[in-house]
Chains A and B, each alone.
Chain A
């Protein structure tokens, strides 16, 4: 082995990228601060945090592995109903344990369906992911004696977290609970993304042919990340039910999956913060549109989608993020992050 002192430095860039940037720390501190600065807005802030987590789960498969899913709400819904049923029937009353259980249920579904999703081409994936979500929605409706049908589960009561923190009317406990869960899961995702596994996902997305040709077991990696994303989405769904005490058919809805795509597109894919930032902007947009035309705000959402695509995500990000670009470089920590977070590989 050659003398260590003369070996070229190959590790510093990677290690530097994995290190927490000042901007990232500032971001999380700001989020936490919101919890203290806006005590009257807990409900909507919790909503944003949950949406951010849900979007993060989609980013794992869309931004890192390149899988386009039209039915990610399937896992959200499974998590939501699981948490609701566990609480309603008193099977598992401690919320954190129920949360994990719900996540695991979604994870199992993710694992089972992953084999269908990784086969075939883009079109097949769209169809399969959409089909699975629709199938679950139909199942939930069919077994309405268990799921409560269109009205959903009634009378869910969530016990205090860890036996100590009660869910209050203002949503304060809910907010910090959701934030804590999201932050922990974010840490895990961040770790994974900066590992060899995470890099192999990016390689698979960039060039699956080359990935296989260097010995990457492509299918196995995709199954793994899809399953993980399902777990995250299930947790997001369980959080939803636990913080709102609601679970009805719309947890599976196509609109939910589609809105999620918009969230990620707004925020940018492939650098983990896109889901969180996109969630904030999306909710703000939703507020604006709802005041404009209360019943038909989906029209404006559709318009935003069309406009974003026509302008081009990359060009749009360049314009909009011209000033905050420096901040993005802080969050993303990637060379390309200064320009645009995601790549537009067809």
Chain B
């Protein structure tokens, strides 16, 4: 029984990490109908920034995390203004090609600069090992992830529901044309949101170095996970991707533990089953945007 709870906890931690990583992509898609397969590259950037700061410059881990966010957000903001902006009206094929191109470039560049082996971030003592709660092993690092990601999720939800920016964002996601007709500066909302989403991805990337592994191929390895979260969870809310991430995280951990021979296939099975059942995702809207 305790192993079930441990696995559940690990799955939740994994899921929440996936959510932080992928929610920027969900908003990008929901807001601008832009398929950004290069989302993982921003995550990778944040991860490497954190790694360099902690491993080489001696920064404390918790000080480097915000910088991971900021670095990725900055890169995102610059790229949005220079490149992405010109492609919003293009076909999905063009967007896919463009973002794949960015992925290839980022993978090769990071490989060249940082080498191709996996990067480990030196963790502070406090995060190593695990607590024992009634026989259930709660990893400290994973607990931190749950706490940080949980707080982020609540903060996002609060911003969306309670702030003016949040309501502008929700309006713009719901119907960009009407929103801009109401005076909402949709491009500005989007630029900010895109940068924020990249920042979140960067933070997620830094956090995931320990759990998912950080190497130059990160954007390629986890592209499918992000796609599944966004497709299954839909792009018109926060709760959809959140639940989808949890489902994916728990399913993946449970699969690898209980059916180790077929572990990696659990997520593909989940993906196929959900698609057969609900072609537009569990929470997605039926209208094709």
CB within 8 Å of B: which residues of A? Answer: 62, 68, 70, 116, 119-124, 126-128, 130-131, 134-135, 138-139, 142, 254, 258, 261-262, 265, 295-299, 301-306, 308-310, 313, 344-346
B32 to chain A, nearest CB (A): 13
Q: Return chain A residues, CB-CB under 8 Å to B100.
A: 258, 261, 302, 305
Q: In the bound complex, what is the Cα–Cα distance between A123 and B227 (angstroms)?
A: 8
Q: Is the CB of A127 within 8 A of B224?
A: yes
B271 to chain A, nearest CB (A): 5
Decide: A299 near B109, CB < 8 A? Known: A305-B97, A305-B98.
yes
Given contacts A131-B268, A262-B97, A346-B91, 18 further A-B contacts (CB under 8 A): A70-B96, A116-B275, A116-B276, A119-B275, A119-B279, A120-B275, A124-B275, A130-B223, A130-B227, A131-B224, A131-B272, A134-B268, A299-B108, A305-B98, A306-B98, A309-B87, A309-B94, A310-B83
B241 to chain A, nearest CB (A): 13
Q: Return chain A residues, CB-CB under 8 Å to B108.
A: 296-299, 302
Taking each of B104, B227, B228, which has the highest tally of chain A beta carbons within 10 Å of its own beta carbon?
Answer: B104
Cross-interface CB contact of A123 among B106, B230, B271, cutoff 8 Å: B230
Q: Is the CB of B104 within 8 A of A305?
A: yes
Closest to B228 in A: A127
Closest to A261 in B: B97
Q: Return chain B residues, CB-CB under 8 Å to A139.
A: 265
Q: Is the CB of A302 within 8 A of B103?
A: yes
Q: Is the CB of A131 within 8 A of B271?
A: yes
In chain B between 71 and 124, which residues have their CB closer than 8 angstroms to a CB of chain A?
83, 86-87, 89-94, 96-98, 100-109, 111-112
Q: Return chain A residues, CB-CB under 8 Å to B160.
A: none
Q: In the bound complex, what is the Cα–Cα distance between A142 and B83 (angstroms)?
A: 40
Q: Is the CB of A127 within 8 A of B271?
A: yes
CB within 8 Å of A: which residues of B? Answer: 29, 35, 37, 83, 86-87, 89-94, 96-98, 100-109, 111-112, 220, 223-224, 227-228, 230-231, 261-262, 264-265, 268, 271-272, 275-276, 279-281, 288-289
Q: Return chain A residues, CB-CB under 8 Å to B272.
A: 116, 128, 131
Q: What are 17 A-B contacts with C-beta separation under 8 Å?
A: A120-B279, A120-B280, A127-B224, A127-B228, A131-B224, A131-B227, A134-B224, A138-B265, A142-B261, A261-B96, A262-B97, A296-B109, A303-B101, A303-B105, A309-B101, A344-B94, A346-B90
Q: Return chain B residues, CB-CB under 8 Å to A68.
A: 92-93, 96
Cross-interface CB contact of A302 among B86, B101, B228, B231, cutoff 8 Å: B101
If over half of A's interface residues share one DSSP class (helix, strand or loop), that class is named, otherwise mixed; here it is: helix
Q: In the bound complex, what is the Cα–Cα distance between A254 and B91 (angstroms)?
A: 21
Q: Is the CB of B227 within 8 A of A126?
A: yes
Decide: A313 near B35, CB < 8 A? Known: A124-B231, A135-B268, A305-B104.
no
Q: Return chain A residues, CB-CB under 8 Å to B112.
A: 295-296, 299
Q: Is the CB of A302 within 8 A of B35?
A: no
Q: Return chain B residues, CB-CB under 8 Å to A299.
A: 104-105, 108-109, 112
B194 to chain A, nearest CB (A): 17
Q: Is the CB of A302 within 8 A of B280?
A: no
Decide: A254 near B220, CB < 8 A? Known: A120-B275, A122-B35, A301-B104.
yes
Cross-interface CB contact of A306 among B96, B105, B107, B276, cutoff 8 Å: B105
Q: Return chain B residues, CB-CB under 8 Å to A305.
A: 97-98, 100-101, 104
Q: Return chain A residues, CB-CB under 8 Å to B92.
A: 68, 122-123, 126, 346
Q: Return chain A residues, CB-CB under 8 Å to B261.
A: 142
Cross-interface CB contact of B35 among A119, A123, A254, A297, cutoff 8 Å: A123
Decide: A265 near B109, CB < 8 A? Known: A119-B279, A130-B227.
no
B242 to chain A, nearest CB (A): 18
A249 to chain B, nearest CB (A): 14
Q: Return chain A residues, CB-CB under 8 Å to B289.
A: 121
Q: Is the CB of B35 within 8 A of A126?
A: yes
Q: In the bound complex, what is the Cα–Cα distance between A265 and B95 (angstroms)?
A: 13
Q: In the bound complex, what is the Cα–Cα distance between A70 and B35 (angstroms)?
A: 13
Q: Return chain A residues, CB-CB under 8 Å to B35.
A: 122-123, 126
Closest to A142 in B: B261
Q: In the bound complex, what is the Cα–Cα distance between A124 and B96 (angstroms)?
A: 13
Q: In the bound complex, what is the Cα–Cα distance between A346 and B94 (angstroms)?
A: 9
Q: Return chain A residues, CB-CB under 8 Å to B111.
A: 295-296
Q: Return chain B residues, CB-CB under 8 Å to A254.
A: 220, 223
B145 to chain A, nearest CB (A): 25
Closest to A118 in B: B279
The 4 closest A-B pairs by CB, nearest first: A302-B104, A305-B101, A299-B108, A302-B105
Q: Is the CB of A344 within 8 A of B231?
A: no
Q: In the bound complex, what is the Cα–Cα distance between A139 and B265 (angstroms)?
A: 8
B75 to chain A, nearest CB (A): 15
Cross-interface CB contact of A304 among B37, B83, B101, B109, cutoff 8 Å: B101
Q: Is the CB of A123 within 8 A of B102?
A: no
Q: In the bound complex, what is the Cα–Cα distance between A175 and B281 (angstroms)?
A: 46
Q: In the bound complex, what is the Cα–Cα distance between A258 and B280 (angstroms)?
A: 25
Q: In the bound complex, what is the Cα–Cα distance between A301 and B91 (angstroms)?
A: 21
Q: Is the CB of A308 within 8 A of B265?
A: no
Q: Return chain A residues, CB-CB under 8 Å to B265.
A: 135, 138-139
Q: Return chain A residues, CB-CB under 8 Å to B288.
A: 121
Q: Return chain B residues, CB-CB under 8 Å to A124.
A: 231, 275, 279-281
Q: Is the CB of B91 within 8 A of A345?
A: yes
Q: In the bound complex, what is the Cα–Cα distance between A91 and B51 (angstroms)?
A: 52
Decide: A258 near B224, CB < 8 A? Known: A121-B280, A124-B231.
no
B279 to chain A, nearest CB (A): 4
